[in-house]
Amino acid sequence: MPNTLDAVDPMVVALCAHVAEALPPAVLVRFQICLSEALTNVVKHAGAPASAVIDVDATINPDAVLIELFEAEGANPFDPRDHAVDLAALDPLAESGRGIGLILHCADAVEYSAPDGPARLSLTFKRDQTGDLE
């Protein structure tokens, strides 16, 4: 995916179409919210040049869908789990600040690693859930 905000929505639509039959509708809604926030955050905050490319892998396993986002070359490593803000503590009229909280709330598992290669954000969505947000 190109490292631009204009590329986020088409990538989310393509990923949703790819996994639509694998996830229950309510989980697919969480998937869409989570991916939109994660990709937007990578583009806006990772610090990679606009000419960079973000690699995205989608794997459909028997029990879960796994999405891996590989930050573009030159990006600043950023583990979202270290920067989560309680969604209830945010000003309801604030224009931003909910992304990381939504990512952590919508995905069933969030993992981050920054080995010697590009940093990777892994998002897991279990296939056997109703998907209701609590």
Residue 133 inside a domain? The answer is no
The pLDDT score that the predictor gives to residue 50 is 82
Q: Rounded to two decimals, what is the model's pTM?
A: 0.81
The pLDDT score that the predictor gives to residue 78 is 67
Burial of 95 (0-12, 13-18, 19+ CB in 10 A): exposed
Residue 41 inside a domain? The answer is yes
Q: 51-101, pLDDT tens digit by residue?
A: 889 999 999 999 999 999 988 777 777 666 665 666 555 555 555 555 677
Domain enclosing residue 80, as ranges: 5-126
CATH, residue 47 = 3.30.565.10
Which 3-state string (H, E, C) describes 24-40?
CHHHHHHHHHHHHHHHH
- Position with higher pLDDT, 74 vs 5: 5
